[in-house]
Structure 1
């Protein structure tokens, strides 16, 4: 059976450095930091008092108040990003066969955490009578985001959520790729969303010592590959991509951003939260991705790393890149856009794939910002695109995304021949 070709025809982004695809790109190439003191609640007693929140996002700009109250923030973000991607793709919803349009979404690393938190706190503050919001469960469940997207637009193809912690949206994208490759759909809306900047989210990550505590300088706290990095910065938002079968896209005259040529998955099988120190799972996932795409290591021009700014994870990933790519590794523009957006957990894979695609379209690699101190355990010959964007003709770009539980996902895009 000959596999169908899959292309990207629409993008949508809602991020801490820009609330549209174009604003996101401008934030990336200018090296903008999305980190700032938390505004959603009083964080004074928390170890970490900052995060990468969305700026100037008002749900009522997109939904009426009644509709907005029925959705957790992560589902609102998903709807907004998906709508932008659908509009960007110029899909004619009156003509497309909606039985062959699916929605496969990275179901957030955590889901409707704020909804769960608030309902439990309200119950605990009461007299013990179970007065719960009737929308508690449908607001909280991780699969509600693709459900809401399909209900709004009438998309009746495959509709589900993937959950693999921070690898969730990259997993969703790979599933969507294969659904189209196999001929089951003409179009799939895919991506991921997250809204974990909450009392429970920040408190939980602080308890496991995962977050940076650079409270005196939030904007410089996310510093992947830097010798003084001390943990990741939590972010929120959503990224959406319209994937389309190539002939279907060509027939309707769609703009094609890139061809989605392959993906890979693997497991560290090592530890609940820590990466394998030698990056063996990361080696496996990149190897699987290259094989799936029919590419050689020397074909890769750019890698947007998982690069969370944790002491262990950054080193393990770069070791794996050196092992897979050998002498070619020094020719690759490596970066981590988490230095600007923070870590969007379940939305990270989608947002970072969008960064790769836009870098390919514009011929510019966004920088890894906030680098001041060399880490002696990192190969100095690697080009980590430090502090300033670099021009580059990118023919093939890759994105890595890893999640707690040892979940690894890798996707790769190519300029259309």
Structure 2
């Protein structure tokens, strides 16, 4: 089996429109959650989110491209360009034939869907643009990445709600690890911050009206975000042969299903995924220094996740650092695991642990070191990234310092 390393990373999210600005914001504990800006927002009860501000699609794409690219696809392409440029790869010949892309996404082109529902049902129009279907389909972003970069190998989209990105990156890892491809582009994106997207989430009654405060006793719900995180997963010897910079090693993963409830999380399901990722990576619990938590800020998730970590790590749980960067950039749903992987890379590579901001009151049911409010310097050899989705679908990635 092949070793797998990350040789490129790209992102656009509420904290920054590239990796350096995002990591700087994480180090500073900056909050990217603010008042939402879109049509009919005044009709919503929830009016905050991790929205990408100061972004003009016309500055990045031409008119023909915008007719095909929903906002989630735009974000994906921006992040993919950054990641592939950093990796210094060009896809031609045999490499192009074998390289592919696996992305996570939950809602697909929600903005396109929202706009066209309005057109038909509110404005009474009888025709929509002929490219509505290829614009809103979940696999649109993966398809456009494959076309732009000449990726002719395995390419597809994974949709498992809030675990989509982690599932996608696990699949890409497996393909490189197993020798199917020397290079895979992996990650995820989401853009649900439109009237219909937020209105749907309002119905669940799990949203906060003021802030995302994971693990704090006074937490009152999650906050949606948007954006993308894209990475280049490359076979270690392939990367070494060309002198590529290695950001981190992807060492293992695990997936599990709660098989219990469509929305309520299960401690046992989460624990199996956490333990399985360590077993796959062949690391002991004592070697893990940092966990990027799923940490949504809901009452149920945070106490369940804390209990799962405590069960798996036992006495070592007290020595672990675990933070939720959703407190800063919001919950990117299908894209969330990809953006959060950046915090794991920062911990391993730079020795900086991103904080859980908005933490105000200790919760006895979340009695772990959640790195409250301020970033921390620490040497970390192994990091885990948790993602636990509605539907009881869990995916955990294990990364090592190169």
TM-score (norm 1): 0.94
Deviation at 1:57, TM superposition (A): 1.3
CA offsets 1:170-209 (integer angstroms, 9 cap, x no match): 0000000110111110100000000000111111111110
Distance 2:5 2:366 in 1: 35
* Paired position in structure 2 for 1:339: 327
Residue from 119, 124, 134 that aligns with 1:122: 119
- The one of 9, 12, 16 equivalent to 2:10 is 12
- Structure 1 residue 95, shift from structure 2 partner: 7.1
Structure 2 alignment gaps of length 5 or more = none
Map 1:191-230 → 2, pairs under 5 A:
191-214=187-210, 221-230=211-220
Tell me the secondary structure at the aligned position of residue 103 of structure 2: strand
SS at match of 1:405: coil
1:234 to 224, 229, 253: 224
The equivalent of 1:294 in structure 2 is 282
1:394 aligns with 2:380: yes
Corresponding residue for residue 218 of structure 1: none
Mapped pair 1:38 → 2:47: no
Distance between the aligned counterparts of 1:28 and 1:128, measured in 2? 45
- Cα displacement (A) at 1:69: 2.5
> Contact conserved, 2:292 with 2:324, CA < 8 A, in 1?
yes
2:257 to 267, 272, 275: 267
Tell me how far 1:61 sits from its aligned partner. Answer: 2.1
Q: Could you tell me how far 1:123 is from its partner in structure 2?
A: 0.8
Determine if the alignment matches structure 1 residue 154 to structure 2 residue 150.
yes
In 2, Cα distance between the equivalents of 1:229 and 1:290?
A: 30
Partners of 1:27 and 1:55 lie apart in 2 by: 14
The C-alpha deviation readout for 1:21-75, integer Å capped at 9, x for no partner, is 0000001010111111111223223111111100211112221122123211001
Matches within 5 A, 1:83-162: 83-93=81-91, 97-106=95-104, 108-127=105-124, 129=126, 131-162=127-158
1:313-332 matched pairs, under 5 angstroms: 313-332=301-320
Gaps of 5+ in 1: 215-220
Partner of 1:411: 397
How many Å apart are 1:8 and its aligned residue?
0.5
Shift of 1:4: 0.7
SS of residue matched to 2:189:
strand
RMSD, aligned α-carbons: 1.2
1:354 is paired with a residue of what secondary structure?
helix
1:120 Cα shift? 1.6
Aligned equivalent of 2:336, options 348, 363, 374: 348
Is the partner of 1:282 in helix, strand or coil? helix
Which residue of 384, 409, 413 maps to 2:370? 384
Query: Are 2:91 and 2:151, in contact at CA under 8 Å, matched by a contact in 1?
Result: no
TM-score, normalised to structure 2, is: 0.98
- Per-residue deviation, residues 62-90 of structure 1 (Å, max 9, x unmatched): 21122123211001101110110000111
Give 3-state SS (helix, strand or coil) of 1:377's partner: helix
- Deviations along 1:108-161, one digit per CA (max 9) or x if unpaired, are 1211111112112111134463x0111110011001111000101111010100
Instruction: Identify the residue that residue 179 of structure 1 maps to in structure 2.
Output: 175
Q: Superposed, which structure 2 residues align to 1:238-249 within 5 Å? A: 238-249=228-239
What is the alpha-carbon distance in structure 2 between the residues aligned to residue 388 and residue 128 of structure 1? 52
SS at match of 1:327: helix
Cα offset for 1:94?
5.0
Q: Distance in 2 between matches of 1:394 and 1:45?
A: 46
